[in-house]
Structure 1
Amino acid sequence: MNVPLVLPQFLDRAVSLYGEKEAIHCEGRSFTYNELNGRVNQLSRGLQDLGIRKGDHVAYLAGNSVEMLEGFYGVYQVGAVMVPLNIRLKPEDYVFILNHSESKVLFVDQDLYELIQPVKDQLDSVRHIIVHYKDSQTNEIDYDNWLATFSTETFDRTELDENDVCSLLYTSGTTGNPKGVMLTHRNNYLHALSTMHHLRIQDSDVLLHVLPMFHVNGWGSPFYYTANGASQICSRKATPESIIRAIQEHKVSILHMAPTVLNSILQYYDQHKPVIDHDVRVVIAGSAPPPAFITRVEEELGWEFIQVYGMTETSPLSLVSTIRSHLDHLSDEEKTRLKAKAGYPMIGADVRIIDDFGNEVPHDGETAGEVAVRSHGVMKGYWKNEEATAEVLQDGFMLTGDMGTVDEYGYINIVDRKKDVIISGGENISSIEVEGVLYAHPAILEAAVIAVPHEKWGETPHAYVVLRENMTATEQEIIDFSRSKLAHFKAVTGITFVDELPKTASGKIQKVQIRDAYWESIGKEGRKVN
């Protein structure tokens, strides 16, 4: 009899083999896998008591915590769908996502409740709001008190199929409103099996949750670290100091994070020279780092650097940049250059660089094409958006919208983003969404937003603006205007005033020319993708 590939099996394995081992340490609290399982059972009973049934959506607005980790398994046991929310959005963003997803219950940390309180009356489907770490001033259900009313005994799970949707993750694209990515149990399960192999996860590992779990479930970490009985450490807020302290105190062996966070750790190291005398692996995804950055991590920190590539729609990881054994003969400089690339396909992923006709480009490291992925991790589709689904799922492949090259060794390098998504501090920003806000400014006639490099955040939005005739506006005024209308990480950080924007014959703004003009203005050669 075939056993369906469903995620609660991972916690079952951990309980069976590592029941008395520390599962998670969170801000002074520690729980074994047996204790974590008991809390998961309490949560499932609580959700069932609230009327949550198979297929219902349950949203979480929370930092990395035991409450967030147990949410995945507690929600799945009743057959419901987890909807993790980005904690860096504005209240109106949550209105759209919660209503679009039809979420019925919202779990929220007390320190994030202020993002929900002003828009509570606009939430159409949310019936219950339950607050983690609730204070006496908040008039909502207290999570700890609520959880304590339910039994820790084994829960009679809803029957699950591996093709059932388990996660609904909202991601920014090239349109203003985010799209809900539907991932199935099978997607996440097989992604976990592949990723745990490539990252060499063992039961002796200690993971520090730095990457927020709302980011494709922290790149799937709640699943494959749990399956292996690894210990997990988390804090709802991560600073370079707290990260280093946790690594030292808990002998953390592996971390996942955005490049900006790693850069802040390097800066902290320069100032304080902390002593870390055990092996550490750091897993990074995002804009390709310069080889010198990798050298600093490996030589100064003494950590192993692992670059990966993925997107929410592919569960997410598809590429890894570790050095394969038959390439050990390469020089250190050549190896570092390869480590800085997005990498080669993980097991179970078929990743190709294709031209406009669907043909693979030469493996010459120069010819650019679109990155296309076929894998067990490719999403079921976008929730309530068949048109957008059809645009990206074609001929069995997920068209990523990223442009890349592939070299003679099969390593893929991302060279540009076809769809103009800006990645700032690990967050996706829709340039069209930012432009829409700028067009609301009374003095702006036209606006185009591109990504420009930023020392701290990797890249940030920069706007090219045409002002209306006989009207004026300063750069700071427009920056402040965008900050008042958008989450701050989405706001523009610079303005270039121009008389007109380059356009095609049909009137479409040509951002390639705008990017080239930017790079020329700062004395660098613009990146061009043919």
Structure 2
Amino acid sequence: MMMNHQLLIKTMLERAYKLFPKKEIFSRGLDRDMRYTYGDFYPRVCKLANVLQALDVKQGDKIGTFAWNNHRHLELYFAITCSGSVLHTLNLRLFPEHVIHVINHAEDKIIFVDEDLLPIVEKAAPQLTTVEKYVIMTDKDELPETSLSPVYHYEKLLAEAADTYDFPDLDENTPAAMCYTTATTGLPKGVTYTHRSIYLHSLAESLPDVLGLSERDAVLPVVPMFHVLAWGLPFSCTWMGSKLVLPGRVLTPEALCTLMEQEGVTMAAGVPTIWMGIYQHLDSGAKYDLSKLRYIVNGGSAVSKTQIAAFEKKFGLSILHAYGMTETSPVVLCSTMKSYMEDWDEEEQYAMRAKQGVLVPGLEMKIVNDEGEEVAWNGKEMGELCVRGPWITSEYYKEPERSAENIKDGWLYTNDIVTIDEEGFILIQDRAKDLIKSGGEWISSVDLENTIMAHPEVVEAAVIAVPDPKWQERPMACVVLKDGSNVTEQDILDFLKPKVARYWMPDKVQIIGEIPKTSVGKFNKKALRETYAK
């Protein structure tokens, strides 16, 4: 028999302090940057845990954070969870009514807020029913003027607190954190993560054939810390002793490339809109030394094999596809090539790397068709991806009816329609609601988007279904071109003609200035449908 040892986040924190006290954390600030070590970080986390106790935070209380990717937010990640309360990262890009809903629904007791985000919280505050206190995080010596009350100064609270704290021995199934979905339809749904789920997810994420995190890495999480806990990277990197590079609020291509060069970043993680902005910046002639960057982790939505090849051939930058969702903590799939695939020809390799990848260790999956039968592993039959495992949610927070819609017989039904090939690599064809059915035939909007984005003058493309009296639905493409481009609708159609089946050809190509995005940078197809459905 083995020891019944509890899997707790505090062991991650203590390992970083004891084994990697010299490793750096760099945080880009509004007024000044912060550079310190895990050795400095630990006593500040202890101070913050004492502050929480002084503010009457009890185990199980929800603590909201309204902050960018910075060192104070990282301190909250560990002080809140390790002391037994629940970290609730608030998505600062949600609609105001959704911000109010998630705070009230989670029953947040205290909100920690970055100074520059005060106006959003001040506007919401009169409608918040459970928040008792606010703590402002600022580099300034005094609090800014604010309508919030009662209000405290983060650094002053820490200055008065003891720098030691005896973190409790919790049950590993104790709730540690929660995030809400971005909700393109209906209200956001809450997902609660436990110490056990975060621990096991961080362990799997760090494995060699997943993200391969190590002490040698310098990691730049561009993905927001309010979005699925920055894909778990703050926890995983701290545990592994990786240098963390936190970019703050300025996420321009220039700022990110400068940061990657300055801090010797070896891995960066974010959504395609970030990477396409960087591609255009580099393509315009900007020069940086990014030679230490092992790979870019791309999630949220796909990049095409053409884009992957362009990054690599032009700038020597390798893209690693990963897939997940709020309900899955998030990492489920990772497109790490198998050893013998290195002998494949270039086109085959890029086609494989454009897929979302294989299931990470620790999870189980099945892909089922409309009849509930598992599809063949032939890369052709489509079905819905279903997953289960120790970091997959078993329910939505206080939402039994919505839970029953997506979680059935112990499986999470993801609503992602996929194929799986003989190698076990999964390719997302579409969200169930975005798949286009034309004359009884399915059209993958994702595949069509990727084909359009292979055009050298195209920056972004989103494909939606529009009603059709004869065929039920037909595809329409919304396309953003490079600045100064003279490409026309017909040029796009001519480009597509030899590449896709005839019935896949869009009935309309609309050239637009910008594709609307969700709060986490994904294409907002709901907004496009509302604009163009008629």
Q: TM > 0.5 between the two?
A: yes
**2:268 aligns to what?**
255
Say which of 413, 433, 441 aligns to 1:399: 413
**2:217 aligns to what?**
205
**1:496 aligns to what?**
532
Q: Distance in 1 between matches of 2:532 and 2:296?
A: 37
Are residues 495 and 393 of structure 1, via their aligned partners in 2, closer, same or farther at CA, if it must alter by over 3 Å?
closer
Say which of 145, 149, 162 aligns to 1:137: 145
Displacement of 1:453:
4.9
Q: Distance in 2 between matches of 1:169 and 1:419?
A: 23
Q: Distance in 2 between matches of 1:141 and 1:48?
A: 14
Say which of 301, 304, 311 aligns to 2:318: 304
Once structures 1 and 2 are overlaid, which stretch shifts more, 284-293 or 58-67?
Answer: 284-293
Displacement of 1:376:
1.8
Q: Distance in 2 between matches of 1:12 and 1:90?
A: 38
Displacement of 1:456:
8.8
Q: Distance in 1 between matches of 2:389 and 2:434?
A: 24
Say which of 184, 192, 195 aligns to 1:182: 192
Q: Distance in 2 between matches of 1:176 and 1:392?
A: 14
Displacement of 1:420:
5.0
Q: Is the 8 A contact 1:318 1:351 kept in 2?
A: no
Displacement of 1:452:
5.9
**1:219 aligns to what?**
231
Say which of 354, 367, 373 aligns to 1:353: 367
Q: Distance in 2 between matches of 1:59 and 1:492?
A: 29
1:17 aligned onto 2:4: no
Q: Distance in 1 between matches of 2:362 and 2:422?
A: 21
Cα deviations by residue, 1:222-272 (Å, 9 ceiling, x for unpaired): 111111111111121211111111111111000001011000000110121
> 5 Å matches for 1:374-523?
374-420=388-434, 453=478, 455=480, 492=527, 495-496=531-532, 498=534
Displacement of 1:143:
1.2
**1:277 aligns to what?**
291
Counterpart residue type for residue 247 of structure 2? S
SS at match of 1:186: helix
Counterpart residue type for residue 108 of structure 1? V
Are residues 456 and 244 of structure 1, via their aligned partners in 2, closer, same or farther at CA, if it must alter by over 3 Å?
farther
**2:37 aligns to what?**
32
SS at match of 1:382: coil
Number of corresponding residues: 447
Once structures 1 and 2 are overlaid, which stretch shifts more, 172-181 or 92-101?
Answer: 172-181
Counterpart residue type for residue 136 of structure 1? P
Cα deviations by residue, 1:6-31 (Å, 9 ceiling, x for unpaired): 11211111111011322344442112
Counterpart residue type for residue 364 of structure 1? N
SS at match of 1:307: strand
SS at match of 2:101: helix
Once structures 1 and 2 are overlaid, which stretch shifts more, 132-141 or 199-208?
Answer: 132-141
Displacement of 1:46:
0.8
**2:508 aligns to what?**
none
**1:519 aligns to what?**
none
SS at match of 1:404: strand
Displacement of 1:195:
0.9
Q: Is the 8 A contact 2:271 2:301 kept in 1?
A: no
Cα deviations by residue, 1:356-395 (Å, 9 ceiling, x for unpaired): 3332101121111001112221014211111222222222
Counterpart residue type for residue 153 of structure 2? D
Once structures 1 and 2 are overlaid, which stretch shifts more, 250-259 or 234-243?
Answer: 234-243
Q: Is the 8 A contact 2:322 2:357 kept in 1?
A: yes
Once structures 1 and 2 are overlaid, which stretch shifts more, 240-249 or 323-332?
Answer: 323-332
Q: Is the 8 A contact 1:405 1:414 kept in 2?
A: yes
**1:147 aligns to what?**
158
SS at match of 1:116: helix
Counterpart residue type for residue 156 of structure 2? N
Q: Is the 8 A contact 1:349 1:374 kept in 2?
A: yes
Once structures 1 and 2 are overlaid, which stretch shifts more, 41-50 or 320-329?
Answer: 320-329
SS at match of 1:326: helix
Return the TM-score normalized by structure 1. 0.79
Are residues 324 and 172 of structure 1, via their aligned partners in 2, closer, same or farther at CA, if it must alter by over 3 Å?
same
Q: Distance in 2 between matches of 1:301 and 1:247?
A: 14
SS at match of 1:277: coil
Say which of 90, 99, 102 aligns to 1:97: 102
**2:376 aligns to what?**
362
Q: Distance in 1 between matches of 2:404 and 2:167?
A: 34
Are residues 181 and 497 of structure 1, via their aligned partners in 2, closer, same or farther at CA, if it must alter by over 3 Å?
closer
Q: Is the 8 A contact 1:184 1:380 kept in 2?
A: no
Q: Is the 8 A contact 1:371 1:401 kept in 2?
A: yes
Q: Distance in 1 between matches of 2:413 and 2:70?
A: 34
Q: Is the 8 A contact 1:23 1:229 kept in 2?
A: no
> 5 Å matches for 1:57-76?
57-76=62-81
Specify every segment of 5 or more residues in structure 1 that has no aligned partner in the other structure, as ranges.
425-447, 458-478, 499-530
SS at match of 2:25: strand
Counterpart residue type for residue 385 of structure 1? E
Specify every segment of 5 or more residues in structure 2 that has no aligned partner in the other structure, as ranges.
436-444, 450-472, 483-512
SS at match of 2:527: coil
Computed over aligned residues only, the root mean square deviation of the Cα atoms, in angstroms, reads 2.7
Q: Distance in 2 between matches of 1:380 and 1:489?
A: 27
Counterpart residue type for residue 202 of structure 1? S
Once structures 1 and 2 are overlaid, which stretch shifts more, 324-333 or 239-248?
Answer: 324-333
Are residues 249 and 366 of structure 1, via their aligned partners in 2, closer, same or farther at CA, if it must alter by over 3 Å?
same
> 5 Å matches for 1:159-174?
159-173=169-183
Q: Is the 8 A contact 2:81 2:177 kept in 1?
A: no
SS at match of 2:531: strand
